[in-house]
Amino acid sequence: MKKSIYIFLLTIFLYSCKSLQKPTIVTSKQVAQKTGSYTFTEKTGLEKPSKPTKKEIKAIEKAKQKAAQDSIEQSKIKVVVEEETPQDFTPTFEVSDYIKQQILNVAAESLGSPYRGGGSTPAGFDCSGFVTYTLNQFDITLPRNSAEMAQIGKRILKKDAKPGDLIFFKTNGSYISHVGIVTENTDGVIKFIHSSTSSGVVYSSTSESYYARTFVGVNRILE
């Protein structure tokens, strides 16, 4: 009897061991999850962003460089305004001596053009129309009338006038009404090119009594 019980218990033990050693066959992700052999974490939308492409990096660097350059240009403008013009904004145009000479050459091309009130083309100029037309060829924009032009740049002594400076006159009462472009200065005697009411675009000089009498001053707008 005892022997039979012993055999029975031994049989149960061996069967149990065999069952424990039997591998679990995983046939799907669901089965793997149930058995604990697979786990996952649901995405939350905060995944690490992908690296930018070379094209994107180049565009970012270009934008940074432009922003830095814009900041430098704005700083330059601020310095010019504070140092050169303690009053309202006054533009100063930085050009080489070569460009100044080219401005005078372009002005000379208009010699002989007739005077025309309100004119601003070689078909006919008034004084300020001639000056604005000439400088516009070099992307330099000025006010349209001589009185407003006299408010820009910086006033200099007559003896210090240089080619490219603007020269102003009061030819019509007590206010500035005429402007020309300085071409030469010999010991304070200034030669300039302008559009006169009587002769159109010509050269004149402050040695002439009319212009000596009506002379107001010289402004430098080109540095």
Q: Which of 128, 135, 146, 178 is catalytic?
A: 178
Asked if 194 is an active-site residue, the reply is yes
Buried b / exposed e over 94-108, threshold 16 CB at 10 Å, is: eeeeeebeebbeebe
Q: Is residue 127 flagged as an active site residue?
A: yes
Q: Which of 103, 127, 179, 201 is catalytic?
A: 127
Q: Is 29 helix (H, G, I), strand (E, B) or coil?
A: helix
Report helix angle 127-136 to 97-109, nearest 10.
130
Separation between Cα atoms, residue 34 and residue 17, nearest integer Å: 23
Catalytic annotation present for 48: no
Ramachandran bin of 215, using left for φ above 0, alpha for ψ from -120 to 50, beta for the remaining angles: beta
Name the strand (E) or helix (H) holding 13.
Answer: helix 2-21
From the candidates 124, 166, 176, 194, which is the catalytic residue?
A: 194
Residues recognised as catalytic: 127, 178, 194
